[in-house]
A and B are shown apart, each in its own frame.
Chain A
Amino acid sequence: MRPSSPLSVPVYHVLLALGDEVLHGYGMMQRFEELTGGADQLLPGTLYSTLARMVELGLIEEARAPSGDQSGGPSRRHYRVTSRGRALARTESERLRRLVDVARRRTWLPGMAR
């Protein structure tokens, strides 16, 4: 995947959900809903196939579960973002910010400066 090309929506969502944490799949679903105020969801089918692909692409990697986290039971895989994933997330966020700026100038979004 070329870094300059837009990331697929689920991949970006996973990166957003993970942030700098170590989470399992369900944890990501929960976190993403929290972060978006319930406006957006990660559904398990898409989530897990995306996770598998992201591992293959080196955007995330499996990680040991943080001590004290009993939420997922013993058998759940935990993940964290790799440096490559972080770089991509930054680039994508930049791209999106520029787009959102454009949208603001078009007065499609509230809270515009002028």
Chain B
Amino acid sequence: MNGSRNGLRETAARLLFRGALRAFPAEFRAAHGDEMLGAFSDALRARPDSAVTRYAIRSSLDALRAGWSLRWRQRERPQHRRPKVSTLWQDARYAARTLIKNPGFTAVAVLTLGLGIGANASIFSVVDAVLLTPLPFPESERLVELTESREGRWTRAAFTHANFWDIRDQNRTFEAVGALRSGSINLSGRDFPERLSLGSVSADFFRALGVTPAAGRTFSKGEDEPGGNARLAVLSHSLWTRNFAADPGIVGRSILLDGQGYTVIGVLPRGEPWLDAADIFVPMLRQPDANRGSFELAVIGRLARGVSLEAAQSDLTGIARRLGEQYPTDDKGMGVTVDSSERWIASDGLRRALWILMGAVGFLLLIACVNLANLFLAKATGRTKERALRVALGASNGRLARQALTESLMLSGVGAGFGLLIAFGIVSLLKMLNPGDIPRLGDVRLDVGVLGFTALATVVTGLLTGLLPAIQATRGDLAGTLREGERDQGGGRVMGRLRGLLVAIEVAASLALLIGAGLLLRSFSQVLGVNRGFETENRVMAEVALPRSYGPEETTRFIGQFTERLKSKPGVTSVAAVSMRPLRGVGTGMGFAAADKPPASTSEIPWASWRIITAGYFSTLGVPIVRGRDFTETDMISKPWRVIISQRVADLLWKGEDPVGRQLILWKGQSDLPAEVIGVAGDMRDWGLDDEPSLAVYFPYYGAGASPVFFVMHGTAGPDAIQPMLRQILSELDATLPLSRVQSLEQLIGDSVAARRFIMVLLAAFAGVALLLALAGIYGVLSYSVSRRTGEIGVRLALGASPGGVLRLIVAQGMKPVVIGLLVGIGSALALTKLMASLLFGITSTDVATYAGVAGLLVGAALLSCYVPARQALRVDVVAALRKE
């Protein structure tokens, strides 16, 4: 009894002293630790029981003091640090040797990581350029965009002229407020006439942006006052380089716009937005009779220093309310929305799409890491004996873990190098596929920011892939391992579970990606398959811009002559004109109502887009006239007002009744013009295929002066054949008129879905790679486990198990983590795809067909990748397997 208590006391004393010895530097401990402990134990035993505790405490305190003072002395002698550095170097060399010795493993790992890191670097470079790079304006956080609204009717509409000038004059929260009106103008007096986009801007527009001109000056204060000089021009940077060879001498010279001389006063710097909003900018003079009915100005403002968005909002809301009271006809219920400039570059949809892609490549990298961790685990398990031997020879656990991490970090470093090459390829590909409406895509490059991001991703990847093997390296029953050798270690339950878990993660992540891609794919085919309401086959569209000198009469005559001459050309069946290019997502609109059913309140006035068309527009596009008749050349616009309405307008106002002959009120709530309905045309999705068919009201072109004119042609002649005909006709009618954008309607459709296709292709590609990686993971784990279980399988076969039963056993084992991953993946997809609801069309984010299809695809592929190792198991030579056992 007593003896055992003494034994206990001695053990405790030894523990205490051993702990105190840790105060000594490791090298010293390695050299003298055992001897010190031995001496301590001997001394302890030589003492009477009563003195043991006292001695132990005294010795331990003494050891602590001596140890720390030794450390303190060594601190000043750097040569004692050398071993650490050389350890690191040793680890690195060891890792490099290991990797070189396993070229197959290394190649697979580098490829996997390269794909993961490359995809991340490339998408990050896009996100960086499009979303994270600040606007090219000083203190852009003070810049805002202003839009008008009418209570209960619409928000974020363009400004009317009069309201803009009032806001500009009355606000107390802005340093500057400027407006831009878009149009077009003909540049002549050079080799050939050219149609340019024109921006009419108030004098404060560029001042609000804070633009420093590349040459000359921009408009100065007061140059937009009534009666000022309107014949001044500021060139955009692209026009300057394209048409004037970037000649700074252009400033002060005169150019011919719509046949009038304009003096060039300056050149804008390169950049977007706004700076590229037009080829050429002229002053927008304040008109004394400016109207409040025509919404056409884009308005921006620079907040005064220290003014918050909210303060500006309440200032403008007050002004809008006063305007509403002052001009109830036009401004009743007026409001002003202040939006920060954050969204100037990328729309909400694009932002969302890019962040979704960023998330997708994050998933891809996760899958790559998991795959690699799995490979490492399998490899590490194969090296159990080597590790046990090294531990027995004195390697510390920390050292082994460090070595595993060194190896994975080195791999991910090499993988990152390869990944940057891949990223370079992807970025070039993205620029090639540029759908045209992703801003700044041309500026995307692998710059310092991207390299930094890649470095970060590399380290995280290295840690993620190395962590599990590192932990595993520090555990395990070493004696048992040395005794048993390597056999059976692969079947360790914990390791097996761990690898199953990794496969489940891979399956879940790739399933979520696949479902995301699947939803976009289905949406895309829904968009293309939607009932457009008009024909696109064998239809060509061309744009002709008319100068301001063309009044209604000239315009009507020109359209008539142009149409007649074109119709007589070979391969052209019919020709018509319209005032708006379809599928552009922008257009003109107005409130409307039935004269016999006035709306109860202004908030119930519906909104329709309007277009001006010639006779034959509907038949040329294959749109049926459901009721009434088409226009004829005797239907002059506004004399009297006669309109054709779309089916949806008819259904909205006169459901179940005949609208022909009824009175429609145009610009309801503003001008309130009565018009007679003469026909009803089929609905068209002419705003965009993914928009609802438009509520549309059509006016006749005859007597209208709208420009530019869009000609639509139906016939066998394609765009290439038609272009020379158009040029010839133009040269006969008016050689100064420029022709632009001769495109088939199919091309227009393609352009209108380009952004959708772009995002879809990228996500699908990433999901495909993810699937391949996941399948490789499933295959790898199962075939490894089969190769470890040949003995067991041999015994089963020898005991009479049927090959079918063994096959089922192996496949079931392989599919277990797949099924778990599938369930988790479906759950996370249900949650994650909610984020992409706004990108979908015609389906919801819980589309059963997509989920079922993707799950089926994954299960099928997983079964295939289980089948190969399972077959391998059946070929086990029973006798050899048993002998091994």
Contact = CB atoms under 8 A, between A and B. Distances in A.
A45 B20 contact: yes
Interface in A20-34: 24-26, 29-30
A76 B21 CA distance: 18
A86 interface: no
Interface in B1-56: 17, 20-21, 24, 28, 31-32, 34-36, 38-40, 42-43, 46
B63 interface: yes
A32 B60 CA distance: 19
Contacts of A49: 24, 28, 66-67, 69-70
Contacts of B59: 43-45
B50 to A, nearest CB: 14
A84 B21 CA distance: 30
B65 interface: yes
A73 interface: yes
B39 A46 contact: no
A47 B443 CA distance: 71
Contacts of B24: 49
Given A48-B32, A52-B32, A25 B62 contact: no
A25 B28 CA distance: 15
A75 interface: yes
A52 B28 contact: yes
Interface in A41-77: 43-50, 52, 72-73, 75-77
B131 to A, nearest CB: 62
Contact of A43 (B35, B38, B62, B67): B62
B79 to A, nearest CB: 13
Contacts of B806: none
Interface string A6-29: 000000000000000000111001
B58 interface: yes
Contacts of B38: 26, 72-73, 76
A50 B20 CA distance: 17
Interface string B100-139: 0000000000000000000000000000000000000000
Interface of A is mostly: helix
Nearest to B24: A49
Contacts of A46: 62-63, 65-66
A52 B70 CA distance: 10
A47 to B, nearest CB: 7
Contacts of B17: 44
Contacts of A76: 35, 38
A45 B28 contact: no
A76 to B, nearest CB: 6
A15 B66 CA distance: 18
Interface residues of A, number: 19
Contacts of B40: 44
Interface string B601-637: 0000000000000000000000000000000000000
B58 A43 contact: yes
A24 B35 CA distance: 9
B39 A45 contact: no
B36 A29 contact: no
Contacts, number: 62
A25 B36 contact: yes
Interface residues of B, number: 27
Which of A24, A25, A49 has the largest number of chain B CB atoms within 10 A? A49
A105 B69 CA distance: 38
A44 to B, nearest CB: 5
A47 B28 contact: no
A26 B67 contact: no
A26 B39 contact: yes
A75 B65 CA distance: 26
Given A26-B38, A26-B39, A26-B42, A45 B66 contact: yes
A19 B35 CA distance: 21
Interface string B394-425: 00000000000000000000000000000000
A86 to B, nearest CB: 24
A34 B531 CA distance: 109
B819 interface: no
Contacts of A48: 32, 35-36, 39, 66
Nearest to A43: B62
A45 B43 contact: no
A44 B46 CA distance: 14
Contact of B67 (A24, A45, A77): A45
A26 to B, nearest CB: 4
B167 interface: no
Given A25-B35, A25-B36, A52-B32, A45 B63 contact: yes
A47 B39 contact: yes
A77 B35 contact: yes
A29 B45 CA distance: 13
Contacts of B62: 43-46
B64 interface: yes
A72 B67 CA distance: 23
B29 to A, nearest CB: 10
Nearest to B34: A75
A101 B773 CA distance: 89
A45 B65 contact: yes
Contacts of A45: 20-21, 36, 59-60, 62-67
B165 to A, nearest CB: 89
Contacts of A25: 35-36, 39
Interface of A: 24-26, 29-30, 43-50, 52, 72-73, 75-77
Interface of B: 17, 20-21, 24, 28, 31-32, 34-36, 38-40, 42-43, 46, 58-60, 62-67, 69-70
Given A48-B66, A49-B69, A72-B38, 6 more contacts: A26-B42, A44-B43, A46-B62, A47-B39, A49-B24, A52-B32
28 contacts: A24-B35, A24-B39, A25-B35, A25-B39, A26-B38, A26-B39, A26-B42, A29-B43, A43-B58, A43-B63, A44-B63, A45-B20, A45-B36, A45-B59, A45-B60, A45-B67, A46-B63, A46-B66, A48-B36, A48-B66, A49-B28, A49-B67, A49-B69, A52-B31, A52-B32, A72-B38, A75-B34, A75-B35
